[in-house]
Amino acid sequence: MKDLVPKGVWALAALLVVTGCRKPEEELGLDLLPGDRLEVSVDTARIHAFTIADSSIRTNGLSRQLLGTYLDPQFGVVNAGIITQILLPGGTNIGIDTDTSGLVADSLVLAFAFDGFNNAYGNLDPQVFEAFELSESITVDSSYRSDRIPSFVNDDLVATRGGSITPKPTTRPVIGGDSLAPQIRIRLSAALAERFVNAIGTSNMADNDQFLQFFKGFYVRANPTGLLPNQGGILYFDLIASASKATLYYRDTNADPVVPRTLDLLINSNSARYTVVEHQFDRSIDGGLQQALADTITVQQATWIQALAGVRTAIRFPDIMAFGGEGRILAKAELVLPVHGTYYPYYVPPTQLFLFRKDANGADAFLPDQLNGIGAIDGFYRPEERAYRFNITRYIQQLLNGTLENTGVEVIPGSGGVSANRVILSGPGTAETPMRLKLTFTDY
């Protein structure tokens, strides 16, 4: 719709609405346009919303990696695993030109340091972890996505196979008299420890290139067998923290007395590392998500959103063009997304949701309202209201102008590659507090 009044009137009219002016509607704007009458009207546009499975997301090089599994009665099983390389300390010549004939392996421990205060999603129940050796090389300068599991040797390297570990993200383990950062510690097989000891002083530890041919990396995952509803959780780790590493414990029996030694094999910014994720929606207890994924036509009571390439909510505005026309100026368009029902206390909603539209190639694209930063469009969770709100005035105006094609928007969680948050939203078919698009116009 073409502008019918000067730009200054746009700003002033919008200001009257946003600042909540309490004058009677018939008096609005009389001091702005002498002889004209400005009125404010509020409409609610019809919404069509449905749930779709998300595609994979890039997870390499992010601020944290995720590991663990849990059974969400509404979303099914989530299982996150870690792919990572380990590297030589200093990068070169471990044990070169030294007598290694008396070296004997004691143990090999893989440690992942918890990521500060935000260290888990779900419960801290004991979990069974498995570790495998990669048979395919990965590289730090490549991009990896959440569904990309490299080839690996299907032989669990954990010393006590099937043994569970209880996550303790606030407890500092004491090892050899030293208090370490909170972490999980997975003891690996004696055979692997011996293999690493035997490599000391050989060309396999001459530099990182040769070491990564000798040992390409780990695939670590949790075993979801036998999970009960609400059991388990996803753990958040900082893999480039100094406490994240594999430590080889060994001794030199040629020395008198015998000398205990350690070799730290590092995970750092030069290591390829990323998260892989598997979703099993068919293991949900109530079946609501499966029904939602199978029906994109019916007016929905609820829609679903899940991080880690789970599911997203698609929203369409089928009647939006009916709100254009002469004599109306769009002052504000606000999309309101209430949370549906109650949620398990350990499955808190995402702190923020994001909106994307589809570009001409079908790829996610920002809304024009996001050009001024995240704060302009909002999308933060309001616990007191149990809802998310988005200011999408520019987007709706460009739909009305014909500048953008009306392909709708899709809603995803913020931090979707480094958290496991999920939420169920009230759909447009909910009797109380449905999702809605509130349109405020200045009419003249």
Asked if residue 10 has pLDDT above 70, the reply is no
CA–CA separation, 68 vs 221, rounded Å?
7
Q: What angle (nearest 5°) sits at the alpha carbon of residue 165, between those of residues 160 and 166?
A: 165
Instruction: Assess if residue 293 is contained within a domain.
Output: no
Same domain, 314 and 276: no
Domain that holds residue 321: 7-54+310-443
Q: pLDDT tens-digit profile of 363-396?
A: 999 999 998 776 789 999 999 999 999 999 999 9
Q: Which two tokens stand for residue 70?
A: 């849990």
CA–CA separation, 184 vs 92, rounded Å?
28
For residue 36, the model assigns a pLDDT of: 53
Backbone phi, psi, residue 125, to 5°:
-75, 155
Instruction: Judge whether 393 and 346 are in contact, CB under 8 Å.
Output: no
Same domain, 16 and 42: yes
CA–CA separation, 301 vs 251, rounded Å?
64
Same domain, 384 and 270: no
Same domain, 233 and 96: yes
Q: 1: how many CB neighbours lie within 10 A of its CB?
A: 15
Same domain, 247 and 342: no
Q: pLDDT tens-digit profile of 86-133?
A: 999 987 889 888 899 999 999 999 999 999 889 999 999 999 999 999
Helix H or strand E segment including 393 = helix 393-401
Same domain, 42 and 88: no
Q: pLDDT tens-digit profile of 308-341?
A: 999 999 999 999 999 987 778 999 999 999 999 9
Same domain, 335 and 355: yes
> Tell me, what amino acid is at 309?
A
Instruction: Assess if residue 295 is contained within a domain.
Output: no
CA–CA separation, 359 vs 422, rounded Å?
26
- Kindly state the average pLDDT of the residues 181-209: 97
Same domain, 168 and 41: no
Same domain, 317 and 438: yes
Instruction: Assess if residue 316 is contained within a domain.
Output: yes
Same domain, 194 and 255: yes
